Amino acid sequence: MRTIFLYVFVISATSCSRKLPPPPVEAWVDISNCNFYNDYNSRKRLKRKPFGQSAKTELVSFDAEFEEKLDSIVYKDCCRDKIPQKDSKIDRSQLKEIIRLTPMQLDSLTNIFFNFDYGRAENGIYRHPKVACYKPRHALLFFRNDADNEPFAYFEICFQCQDLRTFPRNYEVGNFCEGKFDLLRDFFRQAGITQGFEK
């Protein structure tokens, strides 16, 4: 009886002290590059604001209005460009290219925003370090109705400085891991946008 008890004790002790195996390599996160995580299916992605509230989504290119603000202390304020506006509305006559996205293109775009990540998109927003002044030349416009000319929301994109700004500013666009701006640039080009990439 004592032998059986000793045997059960030894087995229990060794099984409790067994170390857990390390996580599989594919679960590790490389914060320097974008990884693809298929966490969000098409239905979930297209429900997220402002995509889910938009009846029409457009890609546009433009020459931005320039507001110079020289500041030797704060480099990020050296220049402030923005999408052309008139009377506090986007001036569509100043947009160089306007391309309405198809449902399939919109699905691909949301896949870039929410499934390419260095971790998980819901862990917060990571901003890639700025490498130049903010000079956006591209934007995404979101319209509630097909007939609307003024978007209820838009994203300005500066591919040179690798920055994206949302208007209004309460939209979550996923983590911007290194490489995501390259994916967005390729998407714009494949959709038919040709101007503004060289500036």
5-64 tens-digit pLDDT: 444 444 444 444 344 444 344 444 445 577 788 888 999 999 999 999 999 999 999 987
- Tokens representing residue 98 in the block: 């306007």
Q: Is residue 183 in a domain?
A: yes
Q: Is residue 199 in a domain?
A: no
Q: Provide the residue range defining the domain that includes 130.
A: 3-191
**What is the per-residue pLDDT for 79?**
59
Report how many domains make up the chain.
1
Q: Is residue 196 in a domain?
A: no
Q: Is residue 159 in a domain?
A: yes
Distance CA(39)–CA(44), nearest Å, equals 9
Reduced 3-state DSSP string for 99-143? EECCHHHHHHHHHHHHHEECCCHHHCCCCCCCCCCECCCEEEEEE
Tens digits of residue pLDDT in 140-175: 999 999 999 999 999 999 998 888 999 998 888 887
Q: Is residue 139 in a domain?
A: yes
**Entry pTM:** 0.73
Mean pLDDT of the chain: 77
Backbone angles phi, psi at 181, to 5 degrees: -65, -30
Q: Is residue 101 in a domain?
A: yes
Please say if the pLDDT value at position 129 is more than 60.
no
Q: Is residue 198 in a domain?
A: no
